[in-house]
Chain A
């Protein structure tokens, strides 16, 4: 009980200081870059926006949308990773490894080829459809194969099917000679985020996050195993369906907004679990906060790695995420997480 209290204390600390950290991340992200901007200018840009002032324009049309996108996407990917890990009880589950990202990119590619000139809403919805297809293929194949839902096997299946989808997508893109447009989707493009798309995606992400929070208690029960969950009177099927909808909402929107960003959905839930313990009622909101701040900081970092050029944020998350991934394989091996 005592231990539980200290964990609760950490949760309260994380959640209560989160506005501070988020504001801090926004300020840092807006301040620094190829052109450093003074804090006073930011204030002026917000209070007295002057369309002729270059700095004001940079702030309002580039830096600000960018950091908001990073925060939203970070939260979305982390929460969908946490949901997947909880419900499947698979410590390697995450949107990028399970082919969800690739599914989105696949459908978007096809759409860009066959129905060019999609509106933003259509793009987001198609991206969600793609997430569902990717996840469906991976889990479908995983459940057909013997032992296919064990963590390591599912990760292998997910990666391979993901590669398959993106190979077909790039073949199609090359055939119709739109690979340049499409490659914008493949490499994460947080620095050129489309403000209209951003505004549109906010409700989708909020719905996804609310769904995730609303089932967080059931996810905790589910993470104890199907038998325990059933014996506690939980309708496990219902939990799975809601969490799938939430994952699709979150990941689909995130991919439509900034492209494929790997490893955030894998590592943030683990870090969060390490800090706040195994209770998903705490993991889900905390990983949203930590993921948001993490991705915003990665984005700032991506401006400096190869200054003055932008490095794709996916490269940054890969450099941070891969050692972590290897560590998980090394330490946890093939067993299912209880």
Chain B
């Protein structure tokens, strides 16, 4: 509980920095005044409500989603190095979304702002792509009735670059404005956050997150041999499938707003496990808040380090996440 509070607090602090700093600095009082609607200044209103606040909220939601999905993926594959990004689920969802942009949204101008159809349909498309990636991963890394851990990662790497090539190919067929949008989006960035995106992803993250949290106790049993889990009366395959569908769903919505962001789903569960031990009920929640914190702070760095130029947050996360991955790899006895 304490950990949760600490991380929520940390996220708020990061959010605070995020709000006050930027191309346009403002003081604490300005922010508080604007938020509490005490003689609001339209200039601050614009910056806070149209640019910074949506961005922070999106970063938090995506962080929560990726953190939880990472916990689930690591739990059901029993592989501490698994991450939705590394396994290519992000890339699969991404390719499907690029295809969606290509087929349904030929003009970049009306994108998102007008059409509710696209807002609702885009994550669904992503879901199909993510699922395709999962199926391919399973086909190629299933051996002797179990998932081979190393092959899992390698297959993931392969399908990431495969779907990456596919996305590149599709995006090259697009017209210039769509291409621009797809290119910015695909590196993993939260530049263009707005309230419509938030409305689009919040319900998914909350509902699927809730389902995963309610079922998270099952992940503890999955760490045992499948046969012993079955003897406890748990239908392993069915539950794993539900978990997998939920996590692919949550990843797809995250990818559809922020592009592919790897390594959050890797780091958050590990940090959470360090903090709260091995019970997945706690890990799940802590991983969500840790993921939230990591992404908000990374997005803050992405925004400010190279001011006024911005980095895609995906790059910041990779630069932090890869050394961590290598460290885990060095430590693991796989």
Enumerate chain B residues within 8 angstroms of A153, measured Cβ to Cβ.
150, 329, 334
Which listed residue, A156, A305, A319, touches B329 by the CB 8 Å rule?
A: A156
CA distance A271 to B326 in the complex (A): 32
Q: Are the C-beta atoms of B169 and A145 separated by less than 8 Å? A: no
Q: Which residues of A contact B322 (CB under 8 A)?
A: 160-161, 163-164, 167
Give the contacting residue for B309; candidates A167, A174, A325, A329; CB below 8 A.
Answer: A174
Report chain A residues within 8 Å CB of B229. Answer: none
**A305 partner residues in chain B, CB cutoff 8 A:** 169
* Inter-subunit contact A175/B309 (CB<8 Å): yes
* B130-143 vs A, Cβ < 8 Å mask (1 yes, 0 no): 00000010001101
The 8 A CB mask of B309-324 against A (1 = contact, 0 = none) is 1110001101100110
Q: Which residues of chain A are near B161, meaning CB under 8 Å? A: 262, 318, 322
- CB closest residue in chain A, given B165: A318
Q: Mark A147-176, 1 if CB is under 8 A from B, else 0.
A: 100001101110111011001101100110
Q: Is the CB of B311 within 8 A of A145?
A: no
A164 close to B154 (CB less than 8 A): no
Number of A residues, CB within 8 Å of B? 41
Q: Find chain A residues with CB under 8 A from B318 CB.
A: 163-164, 167
| CB-CB under 8 A for A160 and B309, given A171-B315, A319-B165 | no
From A157, A170, A312, residue with most partner B Cβ within 10 Å: A170
Q: Nearest Cβ in chain B — how far from A187, in angstroms?
A: 8
B90 to chain A minimum Cβ distance, whole angstroms, is 13
Checking B143, B148, B155 against A326 with a beta-carbon cut-off of 8 angstroms, the contacting residue is B155
**Are B315 and A152 in touch, CB under 8 angstroms?**
no
Kindly state the separation between the CA atoms of A315 and B95 in the bound complex, as whole angstroms.
14
Given contacts A164-B319, A306-B169, contact A152 B309 (CB under 8 A): no
How many chain B residues touch A (CB < 8 A): the figure is: 39
Residues of B within 8 A of A155 (CB): 154, 157
Instruction: Say yes or no: is B43 at the interface (Cβ < 8 Å to chain A).
Output: no
Complex CA gap A211/B120 in Å reads 59
Complex interface residues of chain B between 106 and 151 (CB less than 8 A to chain A): 136, 140-141, 143, 148, 150-151
Q: Are B329 and A157 in contact (CB under 8 A)?
A: yes
Find out whether the CB atom of A322 lies under 8 angstroms from the CB atom of B162.
Answer: yes
CA distance A175 to B307 in the complex (A): 8
Q: How far is the CB of A140 from chain B (nearest CB, A)?
A: 11
Q: Is the CB of B306 closer than 8 A to any CB of chain A? A: yes
A262 nearest CB neighbor, chain B only:
B161
The answer to whether B168 touches A330, judged by C-beta atoms less than 8 angstroms apart, is no
Residue A136 lies at the interface, judged by CB distance under 8 Å to chain B: no
* In contact, B151 and A333 (Cβ under 8 angstroms): yes
Contact with B315, one of A159, A161, A167, A311 (Cβ below 8 angstroms): A167
For B154, give its contact among A170, A175, A329 (CB under 8 Å).
Answer: A329
Is the beta-carbon distance between A156 and B165 smaller than 8 angstroms? no
Residue A103 CB within 8 A of the other chain: no
Are B158 and A141 neighbours in the complex by a CB distance under 8 Å?
A: no
Cβ-defined contact, A329 with B165, below 8 A: no
- Is the beta-carbon distance between B159 and A311 smaller than 8 angstroms? no
Q: When the two chains form their complex, are residues A315 and B168 in contact, meaning their CB atoms are under 8 A apart?
A: yes
B151 near A152 with CB under 8 A, answer yes
CA distance A314 to B165 in the complex (A): 8
Q: Are A322 and B325 in contact (CB under 8 A)?
A: no
Residues of B within 8 A of A325 (CB): 158
B330 at the interface (CB under 8 A from A): yes
> Which of B165, B172, B306, B319 lies at the interface centre, i.e. has the most chain A CB atoms within 10 A of its CB?
B165
A309 at interface (Cβ–Cβ under 8 A)? yes
Question: Among residues 160 to 193 in chain B, which have CB atoms less than 8 Å away from a CB atom of chain A?
Answer: 161-162, 164-166, 168-169, 172-173
The reply to whether the CB of A146 lies closer than 8 angstroms to some CB of chain B is yes
Known: A152-B151, A318-B165, A322-B161. A144 touches B306 (CB 8 A): no
Which of B150, B158, B306 is within 8 Å of A322, CB to CB? Answer: B158
Specify the chain A residue showing the minimal Cβ separation from B330.
A145
Q: Give B82-114 interface residues, CB cut-off 8 Å to A.
A: none
Residues of B21-69 contacting chain A, CB below 8 A: none
Interface status of A192 (Cβ within 8 A of chain B): no
A277 at the interface (CB under 8 A from B): no
Please, how many angstroms separate the alpha-carbon atoms of A93 and B311 in the complex?
32
With A160-B325, A167-B322 already in contact, the answer to whether A152 and B154 are too (CB < 8 A) is yes
Complex: how many Å from CA A152 to CA B172?
32
| Residues of A close to B333: CB separation below 8 A | 146
| Residue from B157, B159, B305 in contact with A159 in the complex, judged by beta carbons closer than 8 Å | B157
**Shortest CB distance A298–B (Å):** 13
Q: Are A315 and B165 in contact (CB under 8 A)?
A: yes
Q: Does B165 contact A334, Cβ atoms closer than 8 Å?
A: no
With A318-B161, A322-B162 as contacts: A329 and B172 at CB distance below 8 Å: no
* Chain B residues, Cβ within 8 Å of A160: 322, 325-326, 329
Instruction: Give the docked Cα–Cα distance between A334 and B155 (Å).
Output: 12
CB contact between B140 and one of A146, A177, A326 (< 8 Å): that residue: A326
Which residues on B sit within 8 Å (CB–CB) of A171? 306, 311, 315-316, 319
| 14 A-B pairs with C-beta separation under 8 A | A146-B333, A152-B150, A159-B157, A161-B322, A164-B318, A175-B311, A187-B168, A311-B172, A315-B169, A318-B161, A318-B164, A326-B159, A329-B154, A334-B151
Top 6 closest pairs, chain A to chain B, by CB: A318-B165, A164-B322, A322-B162, A152-B150, A167-B318, A175-B306
Residues of A bordering B, CB below 8 Å:
92, 141, 144-147, 152-153, 155-157, 159-161, 163-164, 167-168, 170-171, 174-175, 177, 187, 262, 305-306, 309, 311-312, 314-315, 318-319, 322, 325-326, 329-330, 333-334
Known A156-B150, A167-B322; further 10 A-B contacts with Cβ < 8 A? A144-B330, A155-B154, A157-B329, A161-B326, A164-B319, A164-B323, A168-B319, A174-B310, A314-B165, A333-B151
